[in-house]
Amino acid sequence: MDVIIYHNPACGTSRNALELIRHVGTEPHVVEYLKTPPSRTMVAWLAERAGKPLRDLLREKGTPFAELGLGDPGLTDDQLLDAIAAHPILLNRPIVVSPLGVALCRPSEAVLDLLPADDLKPFTKEDGEVVIDASGQRVQR
């Protein structure tokens, strides 16, 4: 299965999603989007394919979101794309693309909806939270 993850290695949620992808036996294409930001067209496509407004892909925490006034509901998608292009940290993560769809995977276990669910093995996140139990079942929170 061909999977792409827009990843920030400094983010625990992103690290957990990446490990879950690998855990099910898929080696994804990892795009460290702070080093190699996606184009405006790609960001717009990701939002469209995820079925989300572009605004839903914005990250507030640890970004210049407030300073740039990005909470203003009157801003257009072009203005939001300009902000993301100038400050890639504004793009929330991890965003995962697979043949099963596109999603902002927060929480990280949301990535399982984009991956084959056959024969899952136990998985625990780096903070100790169990995601897949000993019987191979997803733990619902």
Q: List active site positions.
A: 11
Q: What is the pLDDT of residue 119?
A: 80
Q: What is the pLDDT of residue 50?
A: 97
Q: What is the pLDDT of residue 1?
A: 82
The DSSP annotation for 4-72 comes to: EEEE-TT-HHHHHHHHHHHHTT--PEEEETTTSPPPHHHHHHHHHHHTS-GGGGB--TTSSTTTTTTT-
pTM over 0.85: yes
Q: What is the pLDDT along the chain (141 residues), one digit of tens a residue?
A: 899 999 999 999 999 999 999 999 999 999 999 999 999 999 999 999 999 999 999 999 999 999 999 999 999 999 999 999 999 999 999 999 999 999 999 999 999 999 987 888 999 999 999 999 999 888 987
